[in-house]
Amino acid sequence: MCETCSSPSIGRRRLLAGGLAGGLALAAAPLFAASAFAQTSGGYGTATPVTPDEAMKRLVDGNARYVAGKPQEADYSAGRLKRATGQQPFAAIVACSDSRVVPELVFDQGPGELFIVRVAGNFIDENGLASLEFATAVLGVKLILVLGHASCGAVQATITSIKDNTLPPGHLPSLVNAIRPAVYEAMRSNPSDLLAAASDQNVKLNAKLAQTAGPILSERAAAGQLKSAAAMYDIGTGKVTFL
């Protein structure tokens, strides 16, 4: 069981989640009604995926277009008025704050199609869990993808912190402490490239959390309504490798 799921603060989160779940149920109806157009909600007028596997295929196909330099033609102003009435993204992406990582471009998707949760180091904390619960319970997201990237500065800072037995200044220790489990796990295998191994492990651990954190995400996963996945983005080539 993951440390985050068993932390004392989860008790408080679950208490809040109980109230949130009721609120979500009430909020879902008007939101879905307002976004009834969402069967063709994307910037490209593409039908919204109805299963996790269809959502995954759409991401895979989109990245292939991006790598090939053949993105779909899109007028991002088109559909603006429709998007003002609601949203129905088909996937949630947990991405790093790195300015070179732009999920909408990486997966060749338009406005309103991806729900993005960003933090340096692409890990899921309490706020990230709440955001993902909202995305799934209210907006109907079918897939959560945790997307890491090559040469991640947050992961490297964590490795340096562990090796030097020091902590960075300010609020940076909160990032380091969140990524530590992945680095420790990678160190056990004694890899030749610790940064790459720790980055891979980080997305895997957080993808597991995205599917097992209760009550909302785990219940939807158990019902087959939600899947999570881990992937790494190569900034140089643009290719996303699913782990």
Q: Apex CA 96: angle with CA 35 and CA 47, to 5°?
A: 25
Distance separating alpha carbons of residues 206 and 222, to the nearest angstrom: 17
pLDDT tens, position by position, 22-45: 444 434 434 433 333 333 344 444
**Across 171-180, average pLDDT:** 96
- 3-class state of residue 147 by DSSP: strand
User: How many Å from the N-terminal Cα to the C-terminal Cα in the chain?
Assistant: 20
At CB < 8 A and 24+ separation, what contacts does 8-12 make? 9/126
Task: Give the CATH superfamily of 9-242.
Answer: Carbonic anhydrase (3.40.1050.10)
pLDDT tens, position by position, 82-129: 888 889 899 999 999 999 999 999 999 999 999 999 999 999 999 999
**Across 200-217, average pLDDT:** 97
Query: Is the entire prediction scored with pTM above 0.85?
Result: no
Q: With pLDDT > 90 as the criterion, what percentage of the chain qualifies? A: 72
Distance separating alpha carbons of residues 174 and 166, to the nearest angstrom: 13
Q: What is the DSSP string of 51-115?
A: SHHHHHHHHHHHHHHHHHT-PPP--TTTTHHHHTT----SEEEEE---TT--HHHHTT--TTSEE
- Asked whether residue 17 carries a pLDDT value surpassing 60, the answer given is no
